[in-house]
Structure 1
């Protein structure tokens, strides 16, 4: 594997590792958002999603089953993006900020699809 691919994968994984760890340590805000979006079992959903981000992010950074790790992270981004950044429900500056985060997550999703589908 090339040095640039290794660095790129590690950088892509870094946001998932950090957020997964942070959300496991401090889940209250995320649980409230999940509860507000009527996610069933919000505490469990947040723990599972955070563990996927931390575990699969670490796997991706280390190059352990990167296709599987990237697929798991892409799947975790779907509820994270819809629940966490509902710009369609907001107005003004808050709408713009949430839309930026929503689009950032779409870009991450695309990068994860590229990593997951890459053949060696």
Structure 2
């Protein structure tokens, strides 16, 4: 693997590893959002999603099964984005902030799709 691919994968993975660890250590705000979105078994859903973020993020950072890791992260990003950043339900500054986070996640999703389709 080239140095640039390694650095790119590690940088992309870093946000997932950081957020996954954060959600495992302090799950309540994410669980509350999942409950509000009527996610079934929100405690378990948050633990599973956080574990995927840490595990697949680490694999992606190390370049181990990068396509599988990228696909797992992209898949986990869909509910995270919809539940976590519902800008369509917000007004004013909060709407702008949530829309920015939603679009950031779409950009990450695009990068993960790219990673998943290339070696």
TM-score band, normalised by shorter chain: over 0.9
Structure 1 runs (4+) greater than 3 angstroms displaced:
none
2:102 maps to what in 1? 102
Task: Give the length in aligned residue pairs.
Answer: 119
2:74 maps to what in 1? 74
2:4 maps to what in 1? 4
Q: Deviations over 1:58-79 (max 9, x none)?
A: 0000011000000000000000
Q: CA deviation at 1:2?
A: 1.2
Q: Deviations over 1:47-103 (max 9, x none)?
A: 000000000000000011000000000000000000000000000000000000000
2:64 maps to what in 1? 64
Alignment of 1:105-120 (within 5 A): 105-119=105-119
1:38 maps to what in 2? 38
1:86 maps to what in 2? 86
2:26 maps to what in 1? 26
Query: Residues of 1 paired with 2:95 and 2:22: CA distance?
Result: 24
Query: Residues of 2 paired with 1:23 and 1:37: CA distance?
Result: 17
Alignment TM-score, normalising by the size of structure 2: 0.99
Alignment TM-score, normalising by the size of structure 1: 0.98
Structure 1: any 5+ residue segments left out of the alignment?
none
Query: Residues of 2 paired with 1:73 and 1:53: CA distance?
Result: 6
Structure 2: any 5+ residue segments left out of the alignment?
none
Query: Residues of 2 paired with 1:2 and 1:54: CA distance?
Result: 23
